[in-house]
Structure 1
Amino acid sequence: MTFTMSRLSAMMFLQFFIWGAWFVTLGTYLVQGPLQASASQVAMAFLSQSIGAIVAPFLVGLIADRYFAAQRILAVLHLAGAVLMWQASTATSFGAFSACVMIYMLLFMPTLALANSIAMRHMQSPEKQFPPVRVAGSIGWIVAGVLIGWLGWEQAHRLELTFKMAAAASLVLGLYALSLPNTPPLEQQRNAKLGQILGLDALRLLKSRSYLVFFLASIAICIPLSFYYNFTNPYLNDLGVRGAAGLQSLGQVSEVLLMLAMPFLFARLGVKTMLALGMAAWVLRYGLFAYGDAGAGFALLVGGIVLHGICYDFFFVTGQIYTDAHAGPASRSSAQGFITLATYGVGMLIGSFLSGAVVEHYTTAAGRDWQQIWLFPAGVALVVLVAFVFLFRERPVSVSAAPSASPTH
């Protein structure tokens, strides 16, 4: 790996270390920490990710891509993020905490696109060079989770330290970004129209029935996806699982391994089979969670977590490949922005609201009925799977590159 690729890998490592340092255990901190938040408040905090995903194209497309070098915007956003993360760690009310996290995610979500842009602009062959650099980001997420588990912050009820760790890493990345290769705006980015920036010219893809079915299924599957992101860590800690954040990092390990195998699997299984298997894995995962426990059923919990590779890669990464091939060279960037806004924006926005309502519904003075909570998203995923299998008609596509710019969770 060249020196430049090493520098870009370090950027990716820090980018996702920051996210994994606090996001995985956010629900547990809110429920068990000093704020004593309700399930609806937990959902509201996670909602910041969706709102950030919706706002990101405006910030990056209208400001960063037009007027400023990407590495400088990345530095400013992470330096501001360091301040907000530290303030979140000291907040004494949910209102103050929520405000810090909301503003932080409005600044953080655009950095995902900026980091990808910086990396790919300095590669001669992005389709070959980007995956190893991007994998460094997944490793960063894993290291953050393992570190939290090793330090025992969950059991010691010291999860406010996760925000301080994220703040420190954000400060390091903010300063480090200033040393990254110069990445000024491209001429076509300066002249891009609003519709292109937001990916709205990709609306024409919805004229195809197969893509419309895929698009609606993508939004719908993000509803049960929100249950995993928002409440898996509180669930594991409720059961008394030690080092829950570290255990959850096994999901990212499986994600990395399967991502490397994606081109091979895609060519042999095809779009419909891959997407269907991804949705089926969500049904199975929640079924395992519903009947798992920290004793004899611990293997079920581990199985549900390890399924993350299939859950995420088979649906979301396959979907990005399918979108890329369906859109064609002229509108690939717009189409990817459009599907990301629809899933991480609209889909998870709905899912966050619904997950909070469902958890509150099954919460009594005796505690949370996790079995019923997990069976709900399992049922939703099953309905989406059945509808997709019956309605989707595969259009042959070719894949020439490994998946590259997908967010990791």
Structure 2
Amino acid sequence: MKATTRLQLSVMMFLNFFIWGGWFVTLGTYLSNNLNATGAQSGNVFSTQSWGAIIAPFIIGLIADRYINAEKILGVLHIVGAFLMYQMYNSSAIGSFYPYVLMYMILYMPTLALVNSVSFNQMNDPEKEFSNIRVWGTIGWIVAGLLISYIFHWDAKDNVRQGMLRNTFLMSSIASLILGLFSFTLPKTPPAKSSSEKVSIKEILGLEALTLLKNKNFLVFFVSSILICIPLAFYYQNTNDFLTNIGVENPTGKMTIGQASEVLFLLALPVFFSKFGFKKTILVGMLAWALRYALFAFGNAGALSFMLILGIALHGVCYDFFFVSGQIYTNSKAGDRYKSAAQGLITLATYGVGMLLGFAIAGKITDSYKIAEHQYNYKMVWLMPAGIAFVVLLIFAVFFKDEKKEVVTEPEAEKGLAATRLT
């Protein structure tokens, strides 16, 4: 790959995830403190990510794969997204904010696949080259968090009360416009299929892979993947608001520890996977979910603040050891015929159905433990997802039978990691 092409792809990845990390991490805090949203209303706003994930395959399968170059669609989506993000910046009530964030996420979620398509199209050996490009996306997410906390101080408690977090939408809007214009300079990535080639809804959504559910182990994994998204939704929706309300300084910057740990544990995953196998790896990931929320429940901003930091640092184990391992397992079970369809099905089940269910439950549980304005019984708010994660762990431990004859080797694991999303 040419050095200029590598630089273009790295900048593309950096900006694409800088945009997301620039507003999504602090969204729960902004909704609660500045738009006076209830937990249920916040859940509805966060669920726009799920609707985006459900609709994204149609944009990719019906347009990007058939009619228009991927880099051009990427540019249009981000330019329109910049306008919608600016409208979110101008919205002063949850009623006017919601339609814009819904439209935005429907347009943004397809970009996660588009940036991968543009990257893969320029690579001769994606298994070796992609991770070096993709890591810039994680760096972009981290830089956004550090800017918010340590440069602009928008997430300081007093600044939050004054509405300074509103500026995160303006920052992301500017970055989205820059990436939208920059996208038209990216290497050409023509449609993968002919516009005359027929494509079914089953193919677009990956429903062809439903045949894999006949395998009891895969069915157990599939159901567990949906259920574990319930505690995951609590993290996205509540963590930043929780840290802000209890008085943790620079909460958004501290949350970037989670992304740094993703990179660290991603490197350790192939070795752990090959040595202990899929079932034990998944169980460690589930246990980490339960443990992190227990740490949140009993930690505080004072002497026990280390418990909060440790809980954030466990994000790498939580995400990599369950979701990335699951992608590798799905890849190994699907075979060449259903490989793409199976990954699409798991994405639809987790970021679509699972997260949609998770945000609804997280919103209702948070509301039920509200004491006063910006005050919650956080011990119970966090013990609930800890309990859910532990129940899912028990279900998986009992019903998933260890496949000793189907051990995924380290090279296979590394190959599976190439296409995964880190944040």
Query: Considering the TM-score relative to the shorter chain, is it more than 0.5?
Result: yes
Identify the residue that residue 173 of structure 1 maps to in structure 2.
Answer: 179
Q: Residue 68 of structure 2 corresponds to which residue in structure 1?
A: 68
Q: Tell me, what secondary structure is at the counterpart of 2:420?
A: coil
List runs of 5+ in structure 1 lacking aligned partners: none
- Matched residue, 2:77: 77
- String of CA shifts for 1:347-383, please: whole Å, max 9, x gaps: 0100000000000000023720000000000000000
Once residues 361 and 49 of structure 2 are traced to their aligned partners in structure 1, the CA distance between those partners, rounded to angstroms, is 15
Is 1:220 matched up with 2:230?
no
**Match for residue 407 of structure 1?**
421
Of 341-350 and 261-270, the range deviating more from structure 2: 261-270
Conserved? CA contact 2:146–2:256, under 8 Å: yes
Aligned position for 1:100: 100
Work out whether 1:146 is the aligned partner of 2:146.
yes
Instruction: Give yes or no for contact 1:262–1:403 (8 Å, CA) kept in 2.
Output: no
Distance, in Å, in 2 between the alignment partners of 1:191 and 1:136 is 36
Residue correspondence of structure 1 range 134-213 to structure 2 within 5 A: 134-150=134-150, 151-155=152-156, 156-157=159-160, 158-187=164-193, 190-213=197-220
Rounded Cα–Cα distance in structure 2 between residues aligned with 1:347 and 1:96: 26
Give the aligned length. Answer: 408
**Mapped pair 1:384 → 2:392:** yes
Distance 1:338 1:298 in 2: 39
* Counterpart check, 1:116 vs 2:123: no
Distance 2:85 2:284 in 1: 37
Q: 1:264 aligns with which of 247, 253, 271?
A: 271
Deviation at 1:266, TM superposition (A): 1.3
Cα deviation code 1:233-256 (max 9, x no counterpart): 000001111110000000000001
Map 1:388-399; keep pairs closer than 5 Å. Answer: 388-395=396-403, 396-399=406-409
Give, in angstroms, the shift of residue 26 of structure 1.
0.2
Q: Deviations over 1:300-327 (max 9, x none)?
A: 0000000000000000000000001110
> What one-letter code is carried by the residue in structure 1 that aligns with 2:390?
L
- Shift of residue 65, structure 1, vs aligned partner: 1.2
| Paired residue type of 1:283 | A
Equivalent residue letter for 2:244: N
Structure 1 residue 191 displacement after superposition:
4.2
Q: Return the letter of the residue paired with 1:327.
A: A
- Post-superposition shift, 1:132? 1.2
Could you tell me how far apart the structure 2 residues matched to 1:339 and 1:306 are?
Answer: 25
Give, in whole Å, the separation in 1 of the partners of 2:298 and 2:321: 24
| Deviation of the 1:232 alpha carbon | 0.2
Cα deviation 1:201-225 (Å, max 9, x = unaligned) = 1001101011000000000000111
**In structure 1, C-alpha distance between the alignment counterparts of 2:420 and 2:236, rounded to whole Å:** 16
Give the TM-score, by structure 2 length. Answer: 0.94
**What is the one-letter code of the residue matched to 1:382?**
F
- Rounded to whole Å, the distance in 1 between the matches of 2:199 and 2:272 is 36
- Partners in 2 of 1:257 and 1:220 — Cα distance? 26
Deviations 1:264-312 (A, max 9, x none): 2211121001100000000000000000100011000000000000000
Query: For residues 331 and 10 of structure 1, what CA distance do their matches in structure 2 show?
Result: 32
CA apart distance, 1:260: 2.1
- The structural deviation recorded for 1:346 is 0.3
**Equivalences for 1:320-399 in 2 at 5 Å?**
320-365=327-372, 367-395=375-403, 396-399=406-409
Q: Is contact 2:148–2:155 with CA below 8 Å preserved after alignment?
A: yes
- Map 1:257-336 → 2, pairs under 5 A: 257-336=264-343
Deviates more, 1:202-211 or 1:395-404: 395-404
Structure 2: gaps (5+ residues): none
Once the two structures are superposed, residues 184-207 of structure 1 have per-residue CA deviations (whole angstroms, 9 ceiling, x without a partner) of 112378544331121011001101
Q: Distance in 2 between matches of 1:73 and 1:30?
A: 30
